[in-house]
């Protein structure tokens, strides 16, 4: 299996579940890989999969593996135990950006908030900047929280697109420790019958 294109005969304009806030890597994957679908955000992987089972959405795009850290948990286990059909999968490059409110600088930033999986992809980069990692429920959710706080000592680690969504300044691109940082996303649907 490779890619998450629209299967032959499938109508355009469905709904695709993802975990996270708008601007998250999973949201970005939905926009780029399923542009004909409406991306629908859920706070947890459980909630995204439950929405698929309930028929609120027709598919879900879930990250299950990362080239730097291995399995993305709890997502990988939830997918394996779900009984859902894996339609396809695709590896996507993951580029982490350090973002903060306008006027902040690398000198003013003391903490960087993000999903634990994202933080595990850039510990050396954060350490070299003297920035403390702070876990949050989601990459884009962290960006939203940093934007709302407006504190120049707080930054987020998230996709560059999140800086646009939440009106933040990017202080550093390519924060990931590995230049070949990639995540495998699986496209899931309900079983037939």
Whole-angstrom Cα distance, residue 48 to residue 63? 12
Nearest CA among 37, 177, 156, 3 for reference residue 94: 177
Residue 132 dihedral angles phi and psi, to the nearest 5°: -85, 135
Residue 51 dihedral angles phi and psi, to the nearest 5°: -65, -35
Buried b (16+ CB within 10 A) or exposed e, 92-130: bebebbbbbbeebeeeebeebbbbebbbbbbeebbeebe
Asked whether the bond before 74 is cis by omega within 30 degrees of 0, the reply is yes
Q: Check 25, 45, 139, 185 and give the catalytic one.
A: 185
Whole-angstrom Cα distance, residue 170 to residue 165? 12
Judged by DSSP in three states, 135 sits in strand
Known catalytic residue at 185: yes
Judged by DSSP in three states, 88 sits in strand
Known catalytic residue at 53: no
Catalytic residue set: 183, 185
């Amino acid at each position: 299996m490779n890619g998450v294109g629209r299967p032959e005969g499938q109508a355009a304009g469905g709904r695709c579940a993802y975990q996270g806030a708008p601007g998250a890597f999973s949201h970005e994957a939905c926009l780029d890989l399923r542009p004909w679908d409406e991306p629908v955000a859920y706070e947890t992987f459980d909630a995204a999969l439950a929405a698929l089972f309930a028929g609120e959405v027709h598919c879900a795009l879930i990250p299950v593996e990362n080239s730097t850290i291995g399995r993305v948990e709890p997502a990988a286990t939830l997918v394996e135990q779900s009984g859902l059909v894996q339609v396809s999968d695709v590896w996507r490059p993951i580029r982490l950006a350090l973002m903060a409110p306008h006027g902040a600088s690398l000198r003013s930033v003391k903490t960087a908030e993000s999903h634990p999986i994202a933080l595990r992809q850039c510990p050396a980069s954060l350490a070299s900047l003297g920035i403390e990692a702070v876990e949050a429920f989601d990459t884009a959710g962290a960006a939203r929280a940093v934007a709302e706080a407006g504190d120049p000592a707080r930054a987020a680690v998230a996709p560059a697109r999140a800086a646009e969504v939440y009106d933040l300044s990017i202080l550093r691109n390519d924060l990931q420790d590995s230049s070949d940082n990639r995540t495998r996303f699986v496209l899931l649907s309900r079983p037939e019958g």
